[in-house]
Amino acid sequence: MPSSCKAQAAPNIALIKYWGKDDEDLNIPSNDSISLTLDTTVLCSTCLVKPSSTQTDEFFLNNSPSTVTSRLQRQLTACRPNSEPHFLSIISKNNFPTAAGLASSASGYAATAVALCNYFSCNSDVSVVARLGSGSACRSVHGGLVRWLSSDPFNAEQVLPASDLSNLIVVVIVFSAETKSVSSTEGMRRTQSTSPLFSGRKERAHKRLEEMIDAFKSRDFPTVFRLTMEDSNDLHEMCATSVPPINYLSSSSEKLKTAVHDINNDNGSPLVAYTFDAGCNGFLILERCNLNKVVSHLALTFPDLNNLSHQLLEDSSPPSVLLCIDAEEVRSVYISGVGSGPLVQCEP
């Protein structure tokens, strides 16, 4: 067994969203989903596992002692050989706000799965172990475009490698770094049991996913962008029609949606897509060549983005970085290419 293993994984942004579970303990999805994995050099969860100095497992999150959640316990049980109790210190960190709609559970549990599978040389599929932590985490163990089918719900698989998607970027616009008020698990539960729109969700997501894969393969990005926005709106309409209703979006998210529709209308076809998870922060998907155009247009709605817009005009190669704006409305912006998946390093 190695003395330690350190894994890094990036969040993934779902273009067709997982929302609803057929089995809550195992995170078995009730619908198909598909996502782009981000680049670990921009947004990253790191997990180090090493032997614990005590007779229990210990977990540290962002430098603070934390409880070993039942989700983490399930991952440990799936990887640790029964024969020898071998207690671990699991040290996880995110380089971005945790539990604020930035998919930190996806990257966090993908990183723990990769670290644990490598540490214990575990035979289980790493995507299966990631899913036991958080459903969406099973997509973050692969790079590029990744699908997770409800007809094959145990693990996710890569559809296209990152190298085929080097023209795409994801711009993450953080309006709030606060913890979301309704967790994804609770939101799904409520939608599933009360929203009249939940019936038909499985079919709608499946149809969009098939169309989207065809569009990616034929590099028809306007269709990819249209389907992405439709599916984000589908999720938030299901939330709005739940009882009691859930509204993850803020007035800034609504302004971002309007600005994106304006850009696309001016262009005559979709040039950029917005998508929102269980939080108010926005994710924009676009082709790298349109970044300047899109950001300068967005700066008309969000003057906080003016400096970024000027910076992009001066710099011909768009940065893949975090830009801390720290203004009233836009807290920070991350620009990420599509990433090629987790990294892991074990010490002998």
Positions that interact with ligand DP6 (CB under 6 A): 14, 17-18, 27, 33, 103, 105-106, 134-136, 184-185, 277-278
Position of minimal CB gap to ligand DP6: 135
**Per DSSP, what are the bridge partners of residue 89?**
50, 58
How many whole angstroms separate alpha carbon 2 and alpha carbon 50? 9
Do the Cβ atoms of 271 and 264 come closer than 8 Å? yes
At residue 31, the 3 state secondary structure works out as: coil
CB of 203 to ligand DP6, least distance (A): 17
Instruction: Give whichever of 14 and 295 is closer to ligand DP6, judged by the CB atom.
Output: 14
Instruction: Give whichever of 134 and 228 is closer to ligand DP6, judged by the CB atom.
Output: 134
CB of 17 to ligand DP6, least distance (A): 4
Q: What are phi and psi of 249, to 5 degrees?
A: -85, 150
| Nearest partner of 145 among 36, 22, 235, 307, judged by Cα | 36
CB of 215 to ligand DP6, least distance (A): 18
How many whole angstroms separate alpha carbon 11 and alpha carbon 68? 21
What is the four-CA torsion angle of 73, 92, 132, 168, rounded to 10 degrees? 180
CB of 281 to ligand DP6, least distance (A): 11
How many whole angstroms separate alpha carbon 13 and alpha carbon 107? 11
How many whole angstroms separate alpha carbon 59 and alpha carbon 76? 12
How many whole angstroms separate alpha carbon 262 and alpha carbon 265? 5
CB of 18 to ligand DP6, least distance (A): 3
CB of 14 to ligand DP6, least distance (A): 3
Instruction: Give whichever of 10 and 312 is closer to ligand DP6, judged by the CB atom.
Output: 10
Instruction: Give whichever of 147 and 297 is closer to ligand DP6, judged by the CB atom.
Output: 147
CB of 270 to ligand DP6, least distance (A): 21
Instruction: Give whichever of 135 and 143 is closer to ligand DP6, judged by the CB atom.
Output: 135
Instruction: Give whichever of 35 and 309 is closer to ligand DP6, judged by the CB atom.
Output: 35
For 129-217, where are the E strands, in sequence order? 145-148, 157-160, 168-174
Hey, how many other C-beta atoms are within 10 angstroms of the C-beta on 32? 23
Instruction: Give whichever of 185 and 290 is closer to ligand DP6, judged by the CB atom.
Output: 185
Report CA torsion sign: 161, 14, 218, 296: negative
